């Protein structure tokens, strides 16, 4: 009920390409879906987030697509750059409880 699934585990994309990471959740009480970005040796940092009342949110090159009926959401990184190489975590949470993180996706953007 609490699990957040994430795929792929690792991803290699060429510079300028589109990176896509998919997540699925089970808990229908979740009303907030953040994505975190973690660089080696650093703590995770909030990247972008969406609430289930919208189907898409875009911030610069980063877009979240949300499908409430399928209980799925995804992160798209347009024009991927080597500086985007990091581990990405999707998560689900509510306004009153802990957040549940997915297992993470290691993204490598090669020149």
Partner 1 sequence: DAGVIQSPRHEVTEMGQEVTLRCKPISGHDYLFWYRQTMMRGLELLIYFNNNVPIDDSGMPEDRFSAKMPNASFSTLKIQPSEPRDSAVYFCASSLSGAPAEQYFGPGTRLTVT
- Which residues are at the interface with partner 1 (CB under 8 A)? 32, 34, 42-46, 49, 89, 91-99, 101, 103-104
Q: Which is nearer to partner 1, 45 or 78 (CB)?
A: 45
The tokens for 47 are 């990247």
- Residue number with CB closer to partner 1 (64 or 80): 64
Instruction: Tell me the closest approach of the beta carbon of residue 71 to partner 1, in angstroms.
Output: 17
- The number of helices, as runs of H, and strands, as runs of E, in the chain is 0, 11
Neighbours of 56 (CB within 10 A): 11
Q: Measure Cα distances from 92 to 12, 82, 97, 105, 109 in Å.
A: 25, 27, 10, 16, 26
> Smallest distance from the beta carbon of 32 to partner 1, in angstroms?
5
Minimum CB distance to partner 1, residue 45 (Å): 7
- Residue 82, classed as helix, strand or coil, is helix
| Nearer of residues 75 and 92 to partner 1, judged by Cβ | 92
């Amino acid at each position: 009920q609490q699990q957040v699934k994430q795929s792929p585990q690792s991803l290699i994309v060429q510079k300028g390409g589109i990176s896509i990471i998919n997540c699925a959740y089970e808990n229908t009480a979740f009303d907030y879906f953040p994505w975190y970005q973690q660089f080696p040796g650093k703590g995770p940092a909030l990247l972008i987030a969406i609430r289930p009342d919208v189907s898409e949110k875009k911030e610069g090159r980063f877009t979240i697509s949300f499908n409430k009926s399928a209980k799925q959401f995804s992160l798209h990184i347009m024009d991927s750059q080597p500086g985007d190489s990091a581990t990405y975590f999707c998560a689900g949470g509510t306004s009153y409880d802990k957040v549940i993180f997915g297992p993470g996706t290691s993204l490598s953007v090669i020149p």
